[in-house]
Structure formats: C-alpha cells, structure tokens
Structure 1
Amino acid sequence: MAIDKSAGILTRRGLLKSTGALTALASTGLAGKLTAQEPISVAGIYTVPVEQQWVSRIHVAAEAARAAGLITYTYSENTANTDYPRVMREYAESGAQLIVGEIFGVEQEAREVVLDYPETAFLMGSSFMPDEAYPNLGVFDNYIQDASYLSGIIAGAMSETGNIGMVGGFPIPEVNRLMHAFMAGVKESKPEATFQVSFIGSWFDPPKAKETAFAMIESGADMLYAERFGVSDAAQEKGVLAIGNVIDTQADYPETVVASALWDFGPTLAAALAKVGDGSFSAENYGTYSFMKEGGCSLAPLGTFEGKVPQEALDMVAAKEAAIKDGSFTVEINDEEPKSS
C-alpha cells in the first residue's frame, strides 16, 4: 500500500498559510452544506514532494478543507508514474470518494483505472480536455496566465538590460502558456526585451535549475523567471532579480523575488467538492477556476519591493488587472513551446 499521510505539515515557505483556499471554500457556501453531512473522503496522489510549487497548491487547499471539517484527507507523494495506476486503484478500493492528483505522464493508463471505478470521482491535472467517455474524470490545470502576464509587466520595468532568463520544467502546455503570458507582459513595459528560454527536463531538480540559471546570468540576464525551484537561489547568489511562479517565495529571497504569480487551488477544489456532495460530479474542465476572475490566481504583494517598482508599471498592472476581472481584456492562452529570442 502507498504511504499515506493524513496530517502532513510543511515547515518551509509558509505553504499552510493559504487563507485564500479557506476563503474560496467558504464563499461558495459549501461549508454550510457539507458540514451537515459526513466529511467527503479525499485522497491525493502526487509524483513529486508536496513542497513542490504546483503540487503544493493542491495540498494546501486540501489541508484547508480538512481543517474546516469538510473532508478527510490522505495522500501519497513521490509516486512514480509506473506506480500511479496502482495507487489510484488502492485509494479507490479503500473508499475514497474524490481522488486528486496529476496524470500528465500516465494519461491513458489513468483513464483505464477511472473506468473501473465509476462511483469514484477523479479530479486530475491533465493536458487534455474532459471526455464524456470517462464521465467520472474531471480535469484541471493551473491556468494562471492572468497573473503571469501581470508579473511580466513588473519584470520588464525592473530589468535594466531587457535580457530575461526563463527556466522551466518541461515544454508542455501548462508551462508554455505561463511563459508566453509572462513574456507578453514583459513586452508591455520593455518592448525591446529578449528572452533566454530553457527547460531542465524535470519537475523537481533544484540543482539543475540553478545551474541553468547561472548560465543565463553569464549570458547577460538580469531578471529570471523562476518556474522551477533553484532559479531564485542562482539569482540571489549573483545579485540579479527574479519573478516567482505559483507560490510566493519572497520571504526566502527578500532582496531577489520582486513579484510572483500565485495559484490558489481553493476555487477548483470547492467546485469539485460541491459536485461530489450533491452527486453531480462529471467530466468537466475545472481549469477555468484558476482564472483571475474566478479567484484562482493573483499577483503576490510587492512586500520588500514596495516603493521600488516604477509607478508607471504599477498603474499599468492595476489597469490591466481591472480589465481582466471585468472581461474587457483577455490574456492570450498560447500553449506552443516558447523559444529564445
């Protein structure tokens, strides 16, 4: 049986301070509906440690829901893709009502499992859209292109050379779209900017990300896009700036990380729990709950960089954010692999 942890605690980066997830759950009215019944049994299956950026957002939202009494929660981390279908089956057999995780590396194998457990709801990060052939499989992704675009505006304004280094995990849609949005934002405030783009071929290899970032700094980058852990360490050591992704790491890099595009999985989980609770869970795209207008993403506070970002850039960020929220401006979703310029 896969290792379960029902009350895992993260001690770094303040990941359990996700008031956004609790707020999102409460704002749906879900708390009142679900606390009157038995908590929903939720299991998480993650291929990386729960402190990894992307997975941490799912884990934090689940922990918030557990603390609110809405769910019971167990999880397995560092699950190899070859073991993923087996762990899915084990949780389904154990009675989990909702299984969450990420199946990017096991898309077809996971779907075979889903069909064997029609009474279990599966909410999985996926590169594909929902398919009615798998009615109990809801898919999602971190569509935080809105916040990435805004962080790009700040990055462009803070870069003196306009040479921007970008280090990603893999060139897949969920990474590509954020990079493109960031690059578009940079161009708003620094039209002449150029980009160094590289992928390290791993979701969690901080040393490799750090070495890649060092090479970019050597090639003139004075601003780094830290899609992976390790990039901000390189920026800090070399005295250049960085933009964070998915979580706010400024507390760890107070003189380095200017801003971050944050993902809050709370709205996504709240929507799924509501449907599991009333029996209406089906094959749907839950990715839209990551949009800024849904409360699924935001720009982190400037914190230590308050007063250091040019006012012109801040005014542009405020105007664009308002337009995104009222629907008058849409950040393009471009899933193609970004290239160096």
Structure 2
Amino acid sequence: MGNVIRGNVFGVARRAVLCGAAAAAIAAMALPAWAQSKVKVAGIYTVPIEQQWVSRIHTALKAAEARGEIEYVWAESVANTDYERVMRQYAEGGQQLVFGEVFGVERAARAVAKDYPKTAFVMGSSFKPQEPNFSVFDNYIQEPAYLTGMIAGAVSKSNVIGMVGGYPIPEVNRLMNAFMEGAKEVNPNVKFMVSFIGSWFDPPKAKEAAFAMIDRGADVMYAERFGVSDAAKERKVLAIGNVINTQPQYPETVVASALWHMEPSVDRAIAAVKAGSYKAEDYGPYSQMVHKGSSLAPLGTFEGKVPADVVAKVKAREQEILDGKFTVKVNDNEPKSTM
C-alpha cells in the first residue's frame, strides 16, 4: 500500500509577509507572524499514527486543532526514501509549521529546511537545531522511566527483567538506562536481558523477543515496543509501559508506565509561529516532568498491589525530581544485558 496523506494541502498560495528593505531586514532575523486565526500545520510520520511515539505528537496536534488554533493535515507510513518529497510538498502547499521525525533522513530533511526558510520545522532528531528554522525534540522522559524502574525492581520475584527496544539510539537508550538505574535503586540484585528488534513497528517480532526472555526467567518486561505486553499477558508475567498508558488494554499485566506529553512542545511551537518569534531551538527539555512534558501513570488496577513502602519511595523520588533535588542521569550509551 502507498503512503497515506491526509488533507488538501496543495494549490494553496503562500501569504505575502513582509516587503521593503526594512521588512527584509526583520525577516532575516525571524519567521513571519501570521495574521490569520489558525496556523497551518502538517505532520509527517514514518510509521502509522497508532505507533506509541508518533501518537503523542498526533494527539497533541489534534488537541490544538480541536481548540481551533490550527488547521492540521498529516501523512503517515512515509518511507524514508519518500520523506524529502513529502516535506517539500507540504512546504510548497503553504504549511507554516511541520512536525515529524527524521531519524535516518537527517541530511535530506535539513536540506529541505534550508530551501524553505520561512517554514518552521520541529523534528524528532538526535542532533542539534539548525538555524534559522529547524528545531529538534525527543522524548526526554527518562525521569518517569526511572520511577517505573523502581516499581519494576520491587515487583520482580525472579530478579530478572527483560527489555525489548526498537533501535539502540539515544532516544531509546536513555530511557532504558534510566529504567535500569531505578530498578537497581530498590533491588540491587536485579539482572537485565536487553535486545533490539531493528524496527520501530513490528509487534510480532517484539513479541517473540519477549517470549525468549520470559522463557529464560524474566518475570517483568519493559515494553519499549508494541508486542511486548502481549507476550507478557500470554505468559502471565508483568510489564512496564512506555510513552503511552496501555493498562486499560492490559489491566492485569501493565503495572506502570512512563508517559510522554508532547503538548508543551507543540503549544510552544504554535505560539511562536503565530507571534512571528519562532526560531531554531531544542524542544527536548519541554518533555521533562517539571514542564509537564512527562509523568508517571497512575497505578490504576495495581493500586494496593505494589508494596506501600515502594509506593512511598517512588512518590518521594518523584517530588525530588520536580523540586530539582534529584537528577536522573542522561545516559545515551547502548544498554547491555547483565546476565
């Protein structure tokens, strides 16, 4: 099947923004302010919008659309080889702000941004912003990941935790490493099995990797990818969620989740474009707990099942993070198995 592109974005003329010598000087410093009530926003995603990471961006943009702040169109399941073309189509079509993820297509994406300096781009990336219009972000949710690790370490009876990730890139590594450190804080004896499936969206492959770990003694699974919680449910072991709260789908399996909230970053970018103050910056910090960009999901169905003393420790650590008294170390190195 081909790429799915939502919305009529072509044939829209770009607005005239500034004229004259003085205006040109101002335009060189910042993107234009837009007078109309709604900012035209596009999303370009290499996976289906149901995928947990991308779903956070999509959800935040849909919320802004529901408030009447933006006109939103998107393309999903865009192949890396087609990403540049879709970026150019949206820029040519008059989109003022473009969100997406450019892991694997950095060079092409940044080249497009240079060609359209009046279009604002906010892209998931492992690298730095590029002036004047290419901002970056990632899911800096290592803080709640650490807290879920504390819970996992406490509820594991075999002292073996399995971890299945997509690719060992910084955005994944830092979450896994934080999770492992949290688990070791409450359970120094815990061991880890770590594997990567080489895909962002392959639930069957993630499920098989999880089965292999459970067969080797893991009684808690870190579900960085879809499919892991399915394996945990079938084998009646526990799981820890990542990015979204899947406990409603797995009420007897998913103990806790580290949640990502993209709203602070999305809302900041929209406001900047509308005000004409947009500039290239790193939006990563706005995913931290202090900015309400991430959180620890409620225990829900596991309320009362996690030991009270552990819950107290987690809440105390959470407050220390919010108060700036405890810093979760950012470790982007590839996590390794310890058994």
The question of a shared fold, defined as TM-score above 0.5 by the shorter chain, is answered with yes
CA deviation profile, 1:6-49 (whole Å, cap 9, x unmatched): 59xxxxxxxxxxxxxxxxxxxxxxxxxx9994210000000000
Measured in 1, the distance between the counterparts of 2:293 and 2:36 equals: 27
Task: Give the structure 1 partner of residue 115 of structure 2.
Answer: 116
Amino acid at match of 2:234: E
Runs (4 or more) in structure 1 with deviation over 6 Å come to none
* Amino acid across the alignment from 1:143: Y
Q: 1:188 aligned to 2:185?
A: yes
Structure 1 position 129 matched with structure 2 position 95: no
Query: Could you tell me whether the CA contact under 8 Å between 2:110 and 2:130 is conserved in 1?
Result: no
Q: Which residue identity is paired with 1:127?
A: S
Q: Which sections of structure 2, spanning at least 5 residues, go unmatched?
A: 9-32
CA contact (8 A) 1:147 1:299 kept: yes
Aligned equivalents of 1:235, 1:2: Cα separation in 2: 32
In structure 1, list runs of 5 or more residues that go unmatched: 8-33
Look up the SS of the partner of 1:308 in the other structure. coil
- The residue correspondences of 1:164-175 to structure 2 (distance < 5 A) are 164-175=161-172
Does 2:262 correspond to 1:252? no
> Over residues 223-250 of structure 1, what are the superposed CA-to-partner deviations in whole Å (9 max), with x where a residue is unaligned?
0000000000000000000000000000
Matches within 5 A, 1:83-102: 83-102=82-101
- Structure-1 residue corresponding to 2:52: 53
Name the structure 2 match of 1:149: 146
5 Å-filtered alignment, 1:245-284, equals 245-284=242-281
Shift of 1:4: 2.8
Percent identity at matched positions? 65
Q: CA RMSD in A?
A: 1.6
- SS, match of residue 114 in structure 1: helix
1:298 maps to 2:295: yes
Q: CA deviation at 1:280?
A: 1.3
Larger Rg: 2
| Higher deviation after alignment, 272-281 or 330-339 | 272-281
AA aligned to 2:101 is E
Q: CA deviation at 1:283?
A: 1.2
Tell whether the 8 Å contact from 1:263 to 1:296 is kept in structure 2 after alignment. yes
**Alignment partner of 1:211 out of 208, 212, 231:** 208
1:199 is the counterpart of 2:199: no
Tell me what 1:4 maps to: 5
Compute the displacement of 1:161 (Å). Answer: 1.1
How far has the Cα of 1:5 moved from its partner?
2.4
- CA separation of 1:6 and 1:255: change in aligned 2, threshold 3 A: farther
Q: Which residue of 2 aligns with 1:235?
A: 232
Q: Quick check: 238-247 or 184-193, which moved more?
A: 184-193
Question: Is contact 1:125-1:141 (8 Å) kept?
Answer: yes
- Mapped contact 2:4–2:77 kept (Cα < 8 A): no
Deviation of 1:126 after TM superposition, in Å, equals: 0.2
Aligned to 1:317: 314
Distance, in Å, in 1 between the alignment partners of 2:310 and 2:281 is 37
* Aligned pairs, number: 313
SS in 2 for 1:253: coil
